[in-house]
Structure 1
Amino acid sequence: MSAYNLFRSTGPDGLSCAVPEERSVPRFVIGPQWEFAGKVDSPRNGPLGFDGKAAAAGVRFNGFYLFASFQKNAQALKQAS
């Protein structure tokens, strides 16, 4: 598996996009609705919802991998308590 750059939607949808380091970042990810969220160099280090096999298939067909991230952000955790 190659390393992926992760981008997270700033909206409430929980959508994330993984792009292999050697690929260009898709245009839709560049903008105020998205933020850089780190790197994944192993499926074990990926966020909850990241699937290495699905990522490989997504990249093969689209050049990137879209997935729903199930991690709650700090603001949501504060509001729940």
Structure 2
Amino acid sequence: MGAFESQSRLAVFAGPDCTGTSRDWPADGFINGEKDNYPLDFMIDGINDDVSSFMVWESNKKIINGIDSPCRLRRN
């Protein structure tokens, strides 16, 4: 689990409780030299309509503070 060189990252996951396929981006929004350059279309990243959870990685991918899901989606 590599360090992120003092940059937090925002990760989105296809599985519940931050599992499954994931994509991540710098939390400061600087992508390819542009500020606030977050993806606008998850289809490009292959996760359109699949995102079910997210996490902020502070310094690496290790989960330290656990997972909290205050708004659980109930399916009938």
User: Relative to total residues, which structure has the larger helix share, 1 or 2?
Assistant: 1
| TM-score (structure 1 length as normaliser) | 0.40
Larger RCO: Structure 1 or Structure 2 (Cα < 8 Å, ≥ 6 residues apart)? 2
